[in-house]
Amino acid sequence: MIALDAPAKLTWFLEVTGRRADGYHELRAEMVSLAFGDTLEVDETADYLVIEGAPHLAADETNLVSRALALVGRRAGVRVIKRIPTGGGLGGGSADAAAILRWAGGVDAAAALSLGADVPFCLVGGRALVEGVGERVTPLAFEARRVTLLLSDIAIDTTRVFRAYDELIARGVRPTGRNHLEAAATLVEPRLARTLAWARERFGEVTLAGSGSTMFVDSHVDPERATWREEGPVGPVRVVQTTTTPEAPTTYLPAARR
């Protein structure tokens, strides 16, 4: 039994640069890996998938872990300990799939992209400029950064966010700023708009992470605590202070006995 780290990805900035003929959007974004993420315990002698911490996720062939195993033609027993929230914009499923791909020896960007737009970056990790629909990943020099994550229970569907973005464009509204998808995401989920306004009043300069519900601050907001909960306007918000990390790990440790 070995343990694989699946670091969350954080979209530092995101620009929508165009839309292709097939309907997919072209992006330009800086992404970084975090010292916060899921853990996968892999038994190379077995064949199962168990997910802890996210009971709503299907543990079947549609799960990205199962799809990653199928892509590389491998079988294994995998226990996923989830910490990355679903629909939060931190690439949780992609991070898990990338961990499996690294364990199996890796694949090229095109194969990784077949699992999802964030998988090519998660496979490389560290800090990178990501362009196209996610397939062009240009590594950048690592920068140690402190980050405060604000995690709510709101899950946002990426497809709906891009649809709302297109509707804004059709109305003559062209989103700008650090995250071009913020206006669309808050239209899709009004609770996010209320939570984002509360977070900015509470913590100052707060950025939305990609198309999900996670918000973040470019620093640690409290040097005395690592994680805690606050009561937001529509429910609890979990605050996690973490840091950026270099490229994705390629060596694995024996899993701790449970």
pLDDT in tens, 121-157: 999 999 999 999 999 999 999 999 999 999 999 999 9
Task: Give pLDDT tens digits for 77-129.
Answer: 999 999 999 889 999 999 999 999 999 998 998 999 999 999 999 999 999 99
Mean pLDDT, to the nearest integer, of 205-222?
96
Question: Average pLDDT of 235-246?
Answer: 96
Is residue 9 part of the annotated active site? The answer reads yes
Residue 6 and residue 96 in contact, taking contact as beta carbons nearer than 8 Å: yes
What local confidence, expressed as pLDDT, does residue 54 receive?
84
Q: Give the span between the Cα atoms of 113 and 155, in whole angstroms.
A: 23
Please identify which of the residues 5, 38, 96, 118 carries the catalytic annotation: 118
Residue 258 has pLDDT above 60, yes or no: no
Residue 73, phi-psi category: left (phi > 0), alpha (psi -120 to 50), beta (remainder): left
Domains of the chain: 2-142 (3.30.230.10), 146-245 (3.30.70.890)
Q: What pLDDT digit, counting tens, does each position of 25-59 carry?
A: 999 999 999 999 999 999 999 999 999 998 888 99
Judged by DSSP in three states, 218 sits in coil
Q: What beta strand segments (E) does 140-258 contain?
A: 146-151, 207-208, 215-217, 227-232, 235-245, 253-254
Which residue among the candidates 9, 38, 82, 96 is catalytic per the annotation? 9
Residue with tokens 């003559």: 172
CB 201 within 8 A of CB 217: no
